[in-house]
Structure 1
Amino acid sequence: MLLQRIGNRGIRLGTLFDRAAARYPTNVLLLDHDLDIAPERGRVMTMTDVADLAGDFASRLWRAGLRPGDHAVIHKSNAFDITLLAVAAARIGVVPILLSPHLDGGTVTALLRRVDRPHLITDATKLTGSLPDTVFALTRQVLLASGTDERATSLAELAGAPRVPALELPYDHPTLVTHTSGTTGLPKLAVHTAYSLEARYRPQALATALMRRREPVAIHVSFVHSRLFTALAISLLRGFPVAVLADADPQRVSQLFARLRPGVLEAHPNTYLSWEELASDPLEPLSNVKFFSSTFDALHPRTVRTLIGASRRRTPRFGQIYGQSEIGPSVARSYGRHRSPDADGRCVGIPFPGMTGVRVVSRDGRRPTPSSPGWIEVRSDGRIRTYLGEDERFQGQADEQWWRMGDLGYRTRWGCLHLMDREVDEIPGFGSTLSVEDQLFSRIPELTEVVIIPTEEGPPRPVLCTRDDRPLDREVWRTAVADLPEMAEPEQWRQADLPQTATAKIKRLELARLVGVDGALGRVLEGPPDEVAGDEPAGDSADEPDAERA
């Protein structure tokens, strides 16, 4: 296979850590967990250490027989070594395919069939737990990142492999594959190239460009999300110390941030929602944050106000990005202390000049409005190349250079894009469910989640969660909804019982099914918290970001 160096065209995933080490060898990467592939390395590494580790495991993969153009599915327990192994694979020209640790064995098996006998990198925990024996017949070989199994080869056994030089495929060749949510079926496999990742890098580099000095950057993003790779490139190639978190628990995060004092935060919106309590933490873990960055979703206004208010910096900013796994960041806007998100409703921002374009296509022949929103479509060089094994499906959603997001909205005369609803979540005659949910969050401080779902008969039903699962007073609820569209009596659930993606977003269609199949899964507000039941695990049975939004 022809290999070539591509200069600065595209994100060169395989040499990311090498280039960061060449520029800032003593810069550090901090983890809140041990690496499964190298626990002896500890939780603080220099860029030289990280580059050496990636080079080491690239050589082990080469010794195991992986070659340029091969596919390597990485599905292992949740840790940063998912990212390290992806970089190691790309370093020798192998295309890494990242599958969420939360996927069930049946979904993983189905996706392995779609790839056509790839190499599988997993661990003993997955092999003896969720993965069926059929994975051995569907793959060329099974490699273990940790643990042992007589049917697989341990990467630990390949230690000491001769180092191989870094290789790079052409910039328009597949370099990374991630998967979509699968909320309406089996997840799709999104194929990224070096060129498309570079197009996503440019608009997102704003977060560190606003910083006058190199301050710590803290990142809590799914290890199988394409955003993590651009976030790392933005930070490490500019010499910013980076902390990568696997655990979003507010108590653990408070202790870490109190020591680290990050200047930049990057996280998914639902993570920020759970971090609202950090604003009142006596350790003031958010006091030094100058820039909050949200990954591809619209945030609830209450969350934005709360977190900005916790910063002691003179001019903290909250950057909100709307986009999708298939297209990357599309539009953005920022908030400060004196620019309330409440004033603009569901405005998610404007396109990046010279990099992205947005249009809203009418559904009824008239100009899209709040009462009659249209289909949101985006144009960007960050668009994926195809769906692996499903190019016809990909082409069906593309209109030449335009990509249909699966969302409904409209644009104001000033060009601001307003996001109203997901197409599949639209409730005819109700208006924007997202807007109503925003208002409920602002009016009821105790809420930690609220999702409005359709019912077969009658008005839609809110499903809600509160801090510490405390019962919500009925009078508080009635006051909050007095001037809102009609809704059925709400059900209160434990947060952990809601069906969620790996990025902590609620799977609305699955939740609607659960509520519709068995209303006893939730409870009406008067019942005590311990009466909530749920038969779905907290986590992701077939789900990673499909359309990255609120």
Structure 2
Amino acid sequence: MILQRVGKGIRLGTVFDRAAARHPASPVYLDHDLDVAPELGRRLTLTEIADLIDDFASRLWAARVRPGDRVVVHKSDNFDISLLAYCVARVGAVPVLLSPKLDGATTARLLERLDRPALVTDQAKLEQELPSEVFDLAERVITAAGTFPGACALAELAGTPRVPAVTMPQDLPALITHTSGTTGLPKLAVQSGRTIQARCRPQSTLLAPVGRHEPIAVHVSFAHSRMISGAALFALRGHPLIMMRDDDPERAAELFARVPPGVIESHPNTLLHWESLAHHPARPLARVRCFSNTFDAIHPRTVASLLAASERNLPFFAQTYGQSETGAIAARTYTRRHRESADGRCVGRNFPGLTELRVVSRNGRAPAKDNPGRIEARSAGRIMTYLGEQQRFDDQFSEGGWWRMGDLGYRTKWGCLHLLDREVDEIPGINSTLELEDKLFTRLPELIEVIVIPDSAGVPVPVVCTRDDQPLDHARWRSAVADLPELAPPLQRRLDELPHTATTKVKRLELARLLG
């Protein structure tokens, strides 16, 4: 198969100009106020968003941000993180999005790797989290909200004359985001306008059955590459948008009851927490036509619970698989006909013309469920490089330009890809920790998280969290694990005690170190 050549690129800086020209009154709902413009309230239009981006891009220009500059955006959690990325792109600079969940020391190390970028942050980060050395590591420090000694405040540049958008060649770096950081210091992944556009195409395929009048609710990290490409695609299609910072089920229920979404996209762990909405008296999921997750396999129990809550005739769940480096490379859909016992390890097939998949043997034997191989992919949306780590990037390729996903699995005779484990999470004697966790979720509905990790002797230890932190019923646990591989006694923890990435995934290696 030959991957399709992507056209002109997405041109991030003018996405909302074009979206507003097509759908000027299309609404954007927020569950929080924008730090950069709280006066705009929580219901905006695409026209207002486009004007806001134009305004703040001009302020960045006045703050001496120029084409080709790298501009780190690391501020308190807010949708304006994503909007500032479009502002940076509008003046021809390269936005570098660092999650607000990163600690100050990690942020400083990444600034060092970026070789004196501009830093857009806020008063809260500078006062409470970032070390003073960021002023030495950054060419200039700019506050998007509040003020701080030595920093340029964008609020003080209000009324700056507007400047025209700068269009950069679409094969040059256009966006830098960091990986999830589950295995150490995050890597800085570089994308071009062309690779970002390529990532929009699989999502367009998945949205084909969905009418453009359907509101799309998005709860994805505002610093994630998926947010940047997704918001651009949804706006250009004209969907009303619901951009969420808070994943608290009660707050989500209130918002969805007021603005019923037709599509919900979020991280798998957030969707798992929203299972409780299936039985909420406000019926917040009643109008959902499509549920979608971001790049990670999801538990069948969650899929079944959410689909059962929809009152639409033919709701479906779009399961995608991929990573920050590749974008979505495979997908499958679930409908109500799929039972809760469906194989959650199946992540579907590739997107013809856009992605390719293969599974490579590790021992000369054909990859199978009891002998998983390494999953490799080729994708039109693959990143350009890891910034400052070219050798590390090159080492991820095998012969023929195949990208090593770092995952283990196999393909069935029908061509479906089954994801069993991350290579670094493999536990000898267990075919798939993820499949094991799926079974525990299905058998014990009170679980809201279960992670199986090895102890220092290699014995698999289940770490569990229960709904409302209720004590685990050990008799029910013993019954649930009776036919499973031998496990150590479960360790119960509160969900907020587990280390999470910016995309809500549990950091398994860090959790194992903490428990050790």
| TM-score (ref. length: structure 1) | 0.91
8 Å Cα contact 2:298-2:344 kept in structure 1: no
8 Å Cα contact 1:409-1:421 kept in structure 2: yes
Matched, 1:320 2:319: yes
Give the residue type in structure 2 aligned to 1:10: G
**Whole-Å Cα distance in 2 between the matches of residues 429 and 207 of structure 1?**
37
Write the mapping of 1:75-224 to structure 2, written as runs, cut at 5 A: 75-224=74-223
* CA 1:496–1:86: 2 relative to 1, 3 Å: same
Residue 485 of structure 1 corresponds to which residue in structure 2? 485
8 Å Cα contact 1:207-1:264 kept in structure 2: no
Give the drift of 1:212.
3.2
CA shift digits 1:246-291 (9 cap, x unpaired): 0000000000001111101110100000000000001000000000
Give the drift of 1:158.
0.9
**Whole-Å Cα distance in 1 between the matches of residues 253 and 344 of structure 2?**
31
Residue 235 of structure 2 corresponds to which residue in structure 1? 236
8 Å Cα contact 1:100-1:224 kept in structure 2: yes
Give the residue type in structure 2 aligned to 1:350: R
8 Å Cα contact 1:335-1:341 kept in structure 2: no
Give the residue type in structure 2 aligned to 1:493: R
* CA 1:122–1:266: 2 relative to 1, 3 Å: same
Residue 423 of structure 1 corresponds to which residue in structure 2? 423
CA shift digits 1:361-402 (9 cap, x unpaired): 110011111111010001111000000111111011023421
8 Å Cα contact 2:212-2:238 kept in structure 1: no
Give the drift of 1:503.
1.6
Residue 264 of structure 2 corresponds to which residue in structure 1? 265
Give the residue type in structure 2 aligned to 1:506: V
8 Å Cα contact 1:379-1:401 kept in structure 2: yes
**Whole-Å Cα distance in 1 between the matches of residues 116 and 205 of structure 2?**
40
8 Å Cα contact 1:76-1:101 kept in structure 2: yes
Give the drift of 1:515.
1.1
8 Å Cα contact 2:25-2:46 kept in structure 1: yes
SS in 2 for 1:171: coil
Give the residue type in structure 2 aligned to 1:118: P
8 Å Cα contact 1:119-1:139 kept in structure 2: yes
Residue 309 of structure 2 corresponds to which residue in structure 1? 310
Give the drift of 1:341.
5.9
Residue 504 of structure 1 corresponds to which residue in structure 2? 504
| Percent identity of equivalent pairs | 60
Q: Structure 1 stretch 67-76 or stretch 176-185: which is displaced more?
A: 176-185
SS in 2 for 1:219: strand
| TM-score (ref. length: structure 2) | 0.97
Residue 294 of structure 1 corresponds to which residue in structure 2? 293
8 Å Cα contact 1:207-1:291 kept in structure 2: no
Give the residue type in structure 2 aligned to 1:462: P
CA shift digits 1:125-182 (9 cap, x unpaired): 1111111111001111100011111211100111111111111111111100000122
8 Å Cα contact 2:181-2:501 kept in structure 1: no
Residue 449 of structure 1 corresponds to which residue in structure 2? 449
CA shift digits 1:213-267 (9 cap, x unpaired): 5121100000011111222122111111001000000000000001111101110
CA shift digits 1:331-354 (9 cap, x unpaired): 000000012363335111010111
Give the residue type in structure 1 aligned to 2:492: Q
8 Å Cα contact 2:73-2:85 kept in structure 1: yes
CA RMSD of aligned residues (A): 1.1
8 Å Cα contact 2:340-2:442 kept in structure 1: no
**Whole-Å Cα distance in 2 between the matches of residues 235 and 36 of structure 1?**
23
* CA 1:8–1:166: 2 relative to 1, 3 Å: farther
SS in 2 for 1:237: helix
SS in 2 for 1:168: coil
Give the residue type in structure 2 aligned to 1:163: R
Residue 65 of structure 2 corresponds to which residue in structure 1? 66
8 Å Cα contact 1:458-1:488 kept in structure 2: no
**Whole-Å Cα distance in 2 between the matches of residues 337 and 32 of structure 1?**
30
Residue 459 of structure 2 corresponds to which residue in structure 1? 459
Residue 3 of structure 2 corresponds to which residue in structure 1? none
Residue 528 of structure 1 corresponds to which residue in structure 2? none
**Whole-Å Cα distance in 1 between the matches of residues 91 and 344 of structure 2?**
48
Aligned residue pairs, count:
510
Residue 351 of structure 2 corresponds to which residue in structure 1? 352
Give the residue type in structure 1 aligned to 2:462: P
Residue 364 of structure 1 corresponds to which residue in structure 2? 363
8 Å Cα contact 2:89-2:95 kept in structure 1: yes
Residue 398 of structure 1 corresponds to which residue in structure 2? 397
SS in 1 for 2:421: strand
CA shift digits 1:84-139 (9 cap, x unpaired): 11100100100000000011111111101101010000001111111111100111
**Whole-Å Cα distance in 2 between the matches of residues 345 and 293 of structure 1?**
15
Give the residue type in structure 2 aligned to 1:274: H
Q: Structure 1 stretch 81-90 or stretch 343-352: which is displaced more?
A: 343-352
**Whole-Å Cα distance in 2 between the matches of residues 425 and 92 of structure 1?**
42
8 Å Cα contact 2:292-2:319 kept in structure 1: yes
Give the residue type in structure 1 aligned to 2:100: P
Give the drift of 1:458.
5.8
Matched, 1:473 2:445: no
8 Å Cα contact 2:300-2:343 kept in structure 1: no
**Whole-Å Cα distance in 1 between the matches of residues 261 and 450 of structure 2?**
30
8 Å Cα contact 2:322-2:330 kept in structure 1: yes
Give the residue type in structure 2 aligned to 1:443: R
8 Å Cα contact 2:71-2:95 kept in structure 1: yes
* CA 1:242–1:493: 2 relative to 1, 3 Å: same
Give the residue type in structure 2 aligned to 1:97: V
SS in 2 for 1:266: strand
Q: Which runs of 5+ in 1 are unaligned?
A: 1-6, 517-550
Q: Which runs of 5+ in 2 are unaligned?
A: 1-5
SS in 1 for 2:363: coil
**Whole-Å Cα distance in 2 between the matches of residues 111 and 371 of structure 1?**
40
Give the residue type in structure 1 aligned to 2:417: L
**Whole-Å Cα distance in 2 between the matches of residues 305 and 478 of structure 1?**
24
CA shift digits 1:387-442 (9 cap, x unpaired): 01111110110234211000000001110101010000000112210001000000
8 Å Cα contact 1:208-1:235 kept in structure 2: no
**Whole-Å Cα distance in 2 between the matches of residues 459 and 209 of structure 1?**
46
SS in 2 for 1:330: strand
